[in-house]
Amino acid sequence: MTESSYLTRIGTLIRDARRHQGLTQSELADKLGTSQSAVARIEQGRQNLSLEMLARVGETLGSEFVSLGHSGPQHLRIVGGAKLSGSIPVKTSKNAAVGLLCAALLNKGRTTLRNLARIEEVNRIIEVLTSMGVKVRWLEGTSDLEIIPPATLDLGAIDVAAARRTRTVIMFLGPLLHQFDEFSLPYAGGCDLGTRTVEPHLTALQSFGLDVTATHGFYEAKVDKGTRPEKAIVLTERGDTVTENALFAAALSPGTTIIRNASSNYMVQDVCFFLEKLGVEIQGIGTTTLTVTGRESIDVDVDYSPSEDPIEAMSLIAAAVVTESSITIERAPIEFLEIELATLEGMGLQYDMSDEYLAKNGHTRLADITILPSKLTAPIDKIAPMPFPGLNIDNLPFFALIAACAEGTTMIHDWVYENRAIYLTELTKVGATVQLLDPHRVMITGKTPKWRPAEVMCPPALRPGVVVLLAMLAANGTSVLRNVYVINRGYEDLAERLNALGATIEIFRDI
Ligand SMILES: CC(=O)N[C@H]1[C@@H](OP(=O)(O)OP(=O)(O)OC[C@H]2O[C@@H](n3ccc(=O)[nH]c3=O)[C@H](O)[C@@H]2O)O[C@H](CO)[C@@H](O)[C@@H]1O
Ligand SMILES: C=C(OP(=O)(O)O)C(=O)O
């Protein structure tokens, strides 16, 4: 990176932190004993900064801009082979968090999201929101996030680099079509799972007057305000984020909108419960037809607690299975794990389950699941995902790991993603027998090999990355998993939390 791009990056961080604190450039200048024009130059990256000045700015804004020893990618060193034991509570979900952060843009008032997962994906969205002028702050000593949008979003200042690291930016289309006649947004990015569709989003939002052309890495949007769907919106794919986008468009569109072939998955339900708190009426939550009565405007101070993450719960089940351990997974959203548990029972998994109780959102059914060491056999049929209430698409990779611990041969069919099944072959590096039949299907022969330690570059996709990490926990000896940003995208403190169960995982970085 050149010196000037460092200065620009630091300048942007300082501008965002100043806005976080609700200070003008002049007010910050007063606190630093300098001029408003000097602050303006710093924020534009046109001012050389002494270390002393950087420290003073950091102190004044309560933010560390440059942290020595924390550069470079993060890696994990895993000393495997130990049994795990104890209890671990499931955190709230990444996918609800990103939907809710976008939904907060519909509300002119203060949104407080309680107990949000503190993960890199959320950090990227916070960076994007802050760059557009939204006031976002973690309430001290908590994982509660407060979000207050400005009167007008500053889309010209959007942090393009942060936006491109997620797919979430596509869910800004729904909220933004209410606020602008014209706007542009950077293309969505995220995990490298092959091409992912955008078309269903554009088609669904067309009936609210949105017209998008994609040019030079940006979606250029024009909005014909006041346009409303003349008939029910029929989603061509039962996708989660497309359903959320259609909900966002309907929420601020007075009148009734019907969305058919809607996803009823966990994050969509969390978004629906939140929209209800904003005063939007929604019938059919949990089904594939949502009837939404929108509002002219929304200006309320609202609190919402998203539910726990079924994919994290499944990851922890897989951790217990692969290490042949007994652990208790607390606060598992059992409602979104029923097919998974039925499939695992069919493979011979033994487990105990507590009585059910409700998540803090007041709706989602939770339970504590204790996984018991079990002798597993391969399922008779292939394992393939389906939109909810099928076996969750993001849980499929964990079945590959579990199949490697089961006697016999299992076919895993990931029809959804172009690239994800391919990454499961990385398990061969730690001793599994995985045969790639085609880009969507792998055949796994279980139990024959012993897990063995290895040094592996983390696959550029969240769930396959976690699957390799969990296999390393089972391999006797020291493994290294390099560049785990994708894991941190979706899991909060995973290494530390597994260590609390008896694992030995050390986080290290290149200097
Ligand atoms: C932030 C968030 O919530 N992300 C989730 C969401 O992403 P998201 O909603 O963005 O998923 P996509 O729209 O990219 O769908 C994933 C893939 O499935 C295909 N597809 C999907 C539905 C369908 O009925 N038919 C079909 O073919 C799409 O063409 C695409 O290739 O849903 C995915 C599928 O559950 C999950 O993996 C992601 O974790
Ligand atoms: C594919 C996933 O998420 P995203 O939509 O954020 O890429 C995932 O959570 O496994």
Identify whether 389 is preceded by a cis peptide bond (ω within 30 of 0). Answer: yes
Q: Residue with the nearest Cα to atom 10 of ligand 2?
A: 394
Please report the pLDDT score of residue 67 as a whole number: 55
> Which pLDDT does position 195 carry in this prediction?
67
Q: Is 191 in the pocket of ligand 2 (CB under 6 A)?
A: yes
Determine the pLDDT at residue 190: 63
Pocket test for ligand 1, best of 124, 196, 264 (most atoms within 8 A of CB): 196
Tens digits of per-residue pLDDT, 91-149? 999 999 999 999 999 999 999 999 999 999 999 999 999 999 999 999 999 999 999 99
Q: Report all structural domains of the chain as residue ranges with CATH numbers, in order of start.
A: 3-61 (1.10.260.40), 74-91+309-509 (3.65.10.10), 94-304 (3.65.10.10)
**Minimal-distance CA residue to ligand 1 atom 35:** 393
Q: What is the mean pLDDT of each run of 10 residues along the chain (511 residues)?
A: 73 79 89 91 88 83 62 90 98 98 98 97 96 97 97 94 91 96 86 72 95 86 92 95 98 97 98 98 98 97 98 98 98 98 98 98 98 97 96 98 97 94 96 96 88 96 97 97 96 97 91 54
Amino acid 188: pLDDT: 76
Measure 462 CA to ligand 2 centroid, in angstroms: 7
| Closest CA to ligand 1's atom 13 | 239
Phi, psi of 229, rounded to the nearest 5 degrees: -60, 135
Say what the pLDDT of residue 66 is.
Answer: 60
Ligand 1 site residues, Cβ closer than 6 angstroms:
95, 98, 167, 196-197, 237-242, 267, 387, 393-394, 416
The response to whether residue 489 sits with its C-beta less than 6 Å from ligand 2 reads no
- Give the ranges where 156-265 is alpha helix by DSSP (H): 160-164, 173-176, 199-206, 240-251
The protein residue with its alpha carbon nearest to ligand 2, atom 5, reads 167
* Cβ(274)–Cβ(103) below 8 Å: yes
* DSSP sequence for 64-122: -S--TT--S-EEEEEEE-PPPEEEEEPPBPHHHHHHHHHHGGG-SS-EEETT----HHH
| Number of other CB atoms surrounding residue 213 within 10 Å | 11
Closest atom of ligand 1 to 193 CA is 31
Burial profile 65-102: b = 16 or more Cβ within 10 angstroms, e = fewer: beeeeeeeebbbbbbbbeebeeebbbbbbbbbbbbbbb
Of the candidates 331, 170, 363, which has an alpha carbon nearest to the alpha carbon of residue 264? 363
Question: CB under 8 Å to 231, separation ≥6 — which residues?
Answer: none
- Ramachandran bin of 81, using left for φ above 0, alpha for ψ from -120 to 50, beta for the remaining angles: left
Ligand 2 centre to CA of 191 (Å) is: 7
Atom of ligand 2 nearest to the CA of 168: 6
Q: Cα(151) to centroid of ligand 1, in Å?
A: 32
**β-sheet bridge partners, residue 436:** 442
Q: Which ligand is nearest to the Cα of residue 388, counting in written order? A: 1
Cα separation, 54 vs 102, in Å, equals 32
Given this model, what pLDDT does residue 48 score?
84
Average pLDDT along the chain: 93
Q: Is 261 left (phi over 0), alpha (psi -120 to 50) or beta?
A: left
What local confidence, expressed as pLDDT, does residue 448 receive? 66
Pocket test for ligand 2, best of 93, 94, 245 (most atoms within 8 A of CB): 94
- Rounded CA-CA distance 226/478 in Å is 61
